[in-house]
Chain A
Amino acid sequence: MLYLKTILVSSILFLFAVSCEDPFPTDYIPVNYVEAALEVGEPIKNIILMKSQPLNVEFDYENSLIRDAEIIISTGEKDFVLKTNPEGEDGYYYDGDYLVEEGKEYTLTINLADGSTITGTTITPSAPIWLRSAPQTIQYPKDTINKASNDTLIWDGEPTRGFWGISVKALDTLEYGIYLDGVPASEMNRRVTTPISDNPDLEWRYQEQTQWGAIPNYRTPVVWTFFKWYGLHEIVIYNLDYNYQQWVFQRLVQREYDELLTSVEGDGIGVFGSFNAIRDTFFLIKNQP
Chain B
Amino acid sequence: MNYTSKLTLLFILLLLTTNLLLSSSISGYVKDGSNQEVLIGATVRLDGSTRGAQTNKDGYYVISNLDKGNISITISYIGYESKSIKLNLDSGEDRRLDIKLDQGSVSTTELSVYGDKDDDKVEISISKVNIPMQQIKKIRIGGESDVFRTLQLLPGVLTSSQISSGLYIRGGSPDQNLVLLDGSTVYNPTHLFGFISAFNTEAIKDVELIKGGFNAEYGGRLSSVLNLTQKEGSREKVEGLFSLGAISSKLALEGPIGNGSWFIGGRRTYFEVIKAFLPDDPLNPIPDFNFYDLNGKITQNFGDDDKVSISGFYSSDNLDYDAGNVNFNLGISNRLGAIRWTHIISPEAFSTVNLSTSRYINGFDADNSGYKILQQNIINDITLKQSLDYYFSEDFTTKIGYEFNVYDFDYLADFTGTTDSIVEGSAPGVTNFPIHDINYASYLQAKWQINSLYSVQGGLRVNYFKLADYFALEPRLAMKYYIQPEVAIKASWGMYHQNLKLATLQDFAFFDTWLGTDASLDIAKSMHYIISLETQPYDGYDLNFDVYYKSLKNITEIKRIVLEINEGSDVLYQGEGEAFGAEVFLQKKFGDFTGWLGYAYGFVNARFDSLNSKNYFRPKFDRRHDFKVVAQYDIDDSWDVGASFTFQTGQSYTGQTSRFQLRLDGETNGRGKTVPSNRYGLRLPNSHQLNLNASYSFDAFGFDSKVLLDIYNVYSRRDIWFRFPNVNNNETVIEDFRLLPIIPTLSIEVKF
Binding site for B on A (CB under 8 A): 4, 8, 11-12, 15-16, 18-22, 24-25, 27-31, 33, 35, 37, 39, 48, 50, 52-56, 58-61, 64, 141, 143-149, 159, 161-163, 167, 169, 193-196, 202-205, 207-210, 212, 215-217, 219-225, 234, 236, 238, 245-251, 253-261, 269, 275, 277
Contacts and interface: CB of A to CB of B under 8 A. Distances in A.
Query: Which residue, A163, A221, A246, A250, has most C-beta atoms of chain B within 10 A?
Result: A221
Contacts of A238: 665
A27 B676 CA distance: 11
Nearest to A258: B561
Given A212-B667, A255-B674, A162 B563 contact: yes
Interface string B396-432: 0000000000000000000111100100000111100
A59 B731 contact: yes
A191 B597 CA distance: 58
B624 to A, nearest CB: 7
Contacts of B370: 148-149, 221-223
Q: Which of A22, A207, A248, A259 has the most CB of B within 10 A?
A: A22
A21 B685 contact: yes
Given A19-B647, A149-B370, A238-B665, 8 more contacts: A15-B647, A25-B656, A28-B657, A31-B658, A162-B563, A217-B429, A223-B369, A255-B671
5 contacts: A11-B627, A15-B625, A21-B684, A144-B324, A255-B725
B661 A59 contact: yes
B662 A21 contact: no
A25 B668 contact: no
Contact of A161 (B563, B629, B730): B563
A144 to B, nearest CB: 4
B654 interface: yes
A205 B669 contact: yes
A256 B654 contact: yes
Contact of A19 (B427, B649, B729, B732): B649
Given A52-B675, A257-B674, A205 B728 contact: yes
Interface string B661-700: 1111111111111111100001111100000000000000
B665 A39 contact: yes
Interface stretch (B93-101, B103-111, B278-286): B278-286
A253 B658 contact: no
B730 A60 contact: yes
Contacts of A194: 283, 323-326
Identify the interface centre among A64, A149, A209, A217: most chain B CB within 10 Å of its CB.
Answer: A217
B609 to A, nearest CB: 11
The 10 A-B residue pairs with the shortest CB-CB distance in the complex, in nearest-first order: A162-B428, A216-B429, A148-B370, A221-B370, A52-B658, A144-B324, A204-B669, A29-B657, A216-B428, A195-B323
A169 B561 contact: no
A251 B661 CA distance: 10
B564 A161 contact: yes
B730 to A, nearest CB: 4
Contact of B430 (A141, A144, A196, A216): A216
Contacts of B624: 18-19
Contacts of A37: 665
Contacts of B367: 148
A55 B725 contact: yes
B625 A18 contact: yes
Interface in B334-374: 367-371
Given A162-B428, A195-B324, A55 B560 contact: no
Given A21-B685, A149-B370, A254 B560 contact: yes
Contacts, number: 261
A163 B283 CA distance: 32
Given A64-B661, A144-B282, A55 B674 contact: yes
Contacts of B322: 145-146
Contacts of A275: 665
Contacts of B282: 144-145
B450 interface: no
Nearest to A3: B537
B75 to A, nearest CB: 31
Contacts of A28: 657-658
B560 A258 contact: yes
Nearest to A140: B325
A2 to B, nearest CB: 12
Contacts of A217: 416-418, 421, 429
Nearest to B675: A257
B657 A27 contact: yes
Nearest to A197: B283
Nearest to A221: B370
Nearest to B429: A216
Contacts of B325: 141, 144, 146-148, 194, 224-225
B274 interface: no
B671 A223 contact: no
Given A24-B655, A212-B664, A275-B665, A255 B369 contact: no
Contacts of B728: 202-205
A148 B657 contact: no
B652 to A, nearest CB: 9
Contacts of B417: 215, 217, 219-221
Contact of B686 (A21, A216, A221): A21
Contacts of A64: 660-661
Contacts of B674: 55, 255-257
A215 B676 contact: no
Contacts of A258: 560-561
Interface in B261-287: 282-285
B245 to A, nearest CB: 31
A248 B664 contact: yes
Contacts of A39: 665
Nearest to A15: B625
Interface string B206-247: 000000000000000000000000000000000000000000
Contacts of A11: 599, 627
B610 interface: yes
B592 to A, nearest CB: 15
A162 B427 contact: yes
B724 interface: yes
Given A28-B657, A249-B561, A221 B369 contact: yes
B664 A167 contact: yes
A80 to B, nearest CB: 19
Nearest to A168: B666
Interface in B580-617: 586, 597, 599, 610, 613
Contact of B428 (A15, A161, A250): A161
B659 A52 contact: yes
B157 interface: no
Contacts of B662: 35, 247, 250-251
B423 to A, nearest CB: 13
Nearest to A8: B597
B677 A29 contact: yes
A99 to B, nearest CB: 16
Interface in B304-339: 322-327
B283 A162 contact: no
B734 interface: yes
B181 to A, nearest CB: 35
A20 B429 CA distance: 45
A249 B367 CA distance: 21
B291 to A, nearest CB: 24
A61 B563 contact: no
A31 B675 contact: yes
A23 B560 CA distance: 27
Contacts of A163: 428-429, 563
A207 B668 contact: yes
Contacts of A169: 666
A225 B429 contact: no
A33 to B, nearest CB: 4
A217 B419 CA distance: 12
Contact of B730 (A54, A59, A215, A222): A59
Contacts of B672: 59, 204, 255
